[in-house]
Structures are given as structure tokens and as C-alpha cells.
A and B are shown apart, each in its own frame.
Chain A
Amino acid sequence: MEEEVSNLNKTVLFDWHRSKGAKIVPFSGYHMPVYYGNGILKEHLHTRRKVSLFDISHMGQIELRGPNVYSDFEALVPADIFDLAENHCRYTQFTNDGGGIIDDFIVTKQSDSLNLVVNAACKMKDFTHLKAHLEGSIEIEKLDNYALLALQGPQSAEVLSKFCPEIKNLAFMTKQNTLIKGINASISRSGYTGEDGFEISLKKSDCLDLVDILTREPEVEPAGLGARDTLRLEAGLCLYGNDLDESITPVEAGLKWTIGKQKRLEGGFLGDDKILSQLRDGPEKKRIGICLSGKVPVRSGADILDGEGRSIGTISSGGYSPTLQKPIAMGYVTLNSAQLNEKIQIIVRKKRLEATIIKIPFVEPNYYKTS
């Protein structure tokens, strides 16, 4: 994971992170805060109890425009796009010919365009992929002048609605353009923590002002990528590069729910042969949740054995759960081994650790539900 430090990008908040005592590490081509003075555990628990502010400006923001943008984009993703309402967001993936995942991201339908928020590490290949399939008919714009913040936690609506009351009842996975103390912002009710929260896209030049406004609120603390990772793991959300890659299909990843009704019937997207046949016959491997019996955290790459000691798969993400105060993990195992409550073993430093297959998510999400 060593990266060439001298060539790294900085987000517009780099100096702000340093002034808040952040430990900065190279991540996906950027200098990013992994945690601030309080450390990952406290930032994690603060997000579950109150509100945390994350700088996620390293992520790619892309806008697609053109007369046939919705129908042309339809061919690149397993999700249905035609039935997505305006200002609604949907989680989907770019798939390759073999059904493997090139990237996973959120797409939002806008009045005459689509907005994508993609993984930092996949920005360039996504752009190349989009150009290869859409160039000529669709205008592809990288929103390089925009920053992205995530405000996450059970009190995030209370905090944000002080400045823009209209977002208080914004539905989960919908987006609204609004003003926060005179700053233009595009706010979606979404996130990567399992909590209620918002992702706020705004001009880089306005970002520091908004960060100052939000962090003046007593409930809000900054949180880094370390807590973002432990939070998403507890919520059972996939991390591209760990739990997803170009050899893993959405069916194998347990993302069947993201495949559109129309697409299931008719295909019509890259990798549809493989994905539809897996929907019909089942995949060969499957993502599972794992709870360790002891206290030793397991990390990605560790081997998974069945109760009889036969190799059945590999850990894709693992670590310590601050909420449950024990190690949890996700991994891929052969389909017939992927039974809930099955006893398995994980190999760490040549020792076999007892573990059990459990349901994902590990911690119940607290997404906003319209009453």
C-alpha cells in the first residue's frame, strides 16, 4: 500500500486537517486524514452517537449530459435507470464483460444529466470506461472544482437543518440543491457509515467556510478515513479494492438487490450473460459476515477454513468493531459453505481462530425513514 508521497494530491481541506491534529496518510493518490487527535475508536463512537464531519473530496464527482444520457448509461450498469425519479440516488456498479465490478458508486438523476460519485482509486479507469462507451453522444465532465463532505450521525439532520430547514425531511437516497448560509450546496441524504447523514457537494472555494460553519456546532467533530472504514464495515458495506474488484460480480458480492427488475428480465448491460446466469443458477462464491470467537482481529487476505479444516475462501475486509467491541470481518467462501451460523476457522499468524458465519450488517443501520 506504499504510495509515492511526492506525487500526491491534496484536498482543499489539507491545511485544515493538519491544524486539527490529523494524522495524514497517502490514500488513493491523496494526502488524507486517517484520524485526528481523538483516534479512530472515539471518532467511530462519536459518529454513532452524535455527528461527524468527513472530508471525502478525494472521491470522483462526474456529470454526464446529453440527449440520450439515461438510456445510454443504462447499458453500463445492472441497476435500472429509466425508473429512477429525478433527484433520486441509486447505488450501482460499472460491470465488465465478465460481470466483474469495475467500480461501485452512487448515481443521481438530475433534470438533464446524471451525477456520479465514484471511488477515488477508480476515478481514472471510470473516466476511461465512460469515454470508451459514451464518447461522442454524451458529454463527460469531471467536477474537479468541487469538494465533497459527509456529515454523518444520528444528530446530523438536527445540525444541518439549523442552516437549511428544508433538508430535515429529505428522503433517504434523494438529493436537493440548497443554500447553507449563502453557500450553494447539493445535498443528498446518504453516506457510508450506516447512520443517518448527508453528503454535501460544493465548490472547493466554499468548502472551508462550510466546514467552519458546521464544526462550530458543538455536536460536530471531525472524523477521518479510519473511522469511515470501521463504520462501513459494521454497516456491512463493501469497500472497493477489498470486497469488490473486477473478478467479483454483484451476485457474488451479495448485491443482488441492486440489480434492476427490468435488467433481471432483459439484461442489456455489460456482463449481463454472467450475472443473469448467476441469478438463475447461483454463484460459485458468496460474500459472508464473520464474527470471531476471540479477540484477535483478522485482516484481508487471511484464509478461511470450514469446520473440518478445508480451505473455503479468503477474508476481504476485517478489523475491530468499536460498537460491538470485538473483531468482525467479511470474506468470500464457496457457495455451499456460506451457511449462516456455520462454524469456520480463520488463519492468523499460522494459528486457527474459531469464528462463525453471521448475517450482514453487523450493526443495524439507522437510515432516515420518512414517517
Chain B
Amino acid sequence: MIKYTKQHEWVAINDGDEKATVGITDYAQKQLGDIVYVELPGIGVKVNKGDEAAVVESVKAAAEVYSPISGEILEVNENLADSPELINNDAEVNGWFFKLVPSEESELEELMDKEGYDKYIGDLD
């Protein structure tokens, strides 16, 4: 299952899996342009839904990344330190930001599905 936020984050979780993966959408990376630096959260940090969990710096500006759901950070994408361009090249797979253990599974239901998000960004353009 993949869900999306209005701030252009995605969160993916497989059935039965205890951890969810978070990143920014392809739409978001296009809006940001060339990404040159990513600040990731610390392992073990507890975040609430909507908390600032990461920062991405494009050539032009900095942008905050908010956690789509509450949980505890389990893992971060170490590849982004040396290759932040992974986000531009492959935002929704290899350009993931962090994995967390959700504390409130019900929060996922409040987010948009693929169809809802596509309609949402369609209306933005």
C-alpha cells in the first residue's frame, strides 16, 4: 500500500510488515529541481504525523519534509548523503528517505491513495 500527503510525501507499507518507508513524490522532486543535500532524522527518533522529519536542499532553496505518519525512525537512506541526485532520478523507489515503525496505523487511512494524489496534483498545475 502506498499513500500520499498534500505536502508531496509518500509512505509505503507492505501487508504484515512492521515498517513503513517514506520519501517525496516525483512531482515534488520536479518542483524542487536539482537536489544537492538531504538532512535525515536520527535513528530511534520518535516523530509525530506532520513533524518536520527531513530537509532537502535543492540548488535554489531548502524545503522541509514532514513525516506522513507517527512512529519511530528505524533506518535512513545512507545513499542520499553521497548521491542526493537519487531523489531526482528515482524519487519513489531508490530515493526513499527513511523507514519508521508506525505507532498509529489508522493515520494511513487519512492519506490519499494514488488516484486521489494524481487528481490532487492535476488540480495544482
Contacts and interface: CB of A to CB of B under 8 A. Distances in A.
Interface of A: 23, 34-35, 39-41, 226, 229-230, 295-297, 299, 319-320, 322, 327, 349
A121 B27 CA distance: 31
10 contacts: A39-B34, A39-B88, A40-B33, A40-B59, A226-B59, A230-B59, A296-B39, A297-B36, A297-B62, A349-B55
Given A40-B33, A319-B59, A349-B55, 20 more contacts: A23-B33, A34-B33, A35-B33, A39-B34, A39-B88, A40-B34, A40-B59, A40-B60, A41-B34, A226-B33, A226-B59, A229-B60, A295-B36, A295-B37, A296-B37, A297-B36, A299-B62, A322-B59, A327-B37, A349-B39
Contact of A320 (B39, B55, B57, B81): B57
B120 to A, nearest CB: 19
A312 to B, nearest CB: 23
A296 B90 CA distance: 22
Given A40-B33, A40-B34, A226 B39 contact: no
A23 B59 CA distance: 14
Contacts of A299: 61-62
Nearest to A25: B60
A23 B60 CA distance: 13
Nearest to B60: A226
A230 B37 CA distance: 16
Nearest to B31: A23
A133 to B, nearest CB: 37
Interface in B33-69: 33-34, 36-37, 39, 55, 57, 59-62
A35 B88 CA distance: 15
| 5 nearest CB pairs, A to B | A320-B36, A41-B34, A40-B59, A39-B34, A297-B57
B39 A297 contact: no
A299 to B, nearest CB: 7
Contact of B37 (A40, A41, A297): A297
A35 B58 CA distance: 13
B57 A39 contact: no
B40 to A, nearest CB: 12
Contacts of B59: 39-41, 226, 230, 319-320, 322
Contacts of B37: 295-297, 320, 327
Nearest to A38: B34
Interface string B85-122: 00010000000000000000000000000000000000
B62 A39 contact: no
Nearest to A322: B59
A40 B35 CA distance: 10
Which residue among A23, A35, A296 has the maximum number of chain B CB atoms within 10 Å of its CB? A296
Contacts of B57: 296-297, 320
Which residue among B39, B57, B60, B62 has the maximum number of chain A CB atoms within 10 Å of its CB? B60
Contacts of A319: 59-60
A315 to B, nearest CB: 13
Contacts of B62: 297, 299
Which residue among B34, B37, B39, B62 has the maximum number of chain A CB atoms within 10 Å of its CB? B34
Nearest to A349: B55
Nearest to B52: A349
A295 B33 CA distance: 17
B121 to A, nearest CB: 15
Contacts of B60: 34, 40, 226, 229, 319
Which residue among B55, B59, B62 has the maximum number of chain A CB atoms within 10 Å of its CB? B59
Contacts of A39: 33-34, 59, 88
Contacts of B34: 39-41
Which residue among B33, B36, B57, B81 has the maximum number of chain A CB atoms within 10 Å of its CB? B36
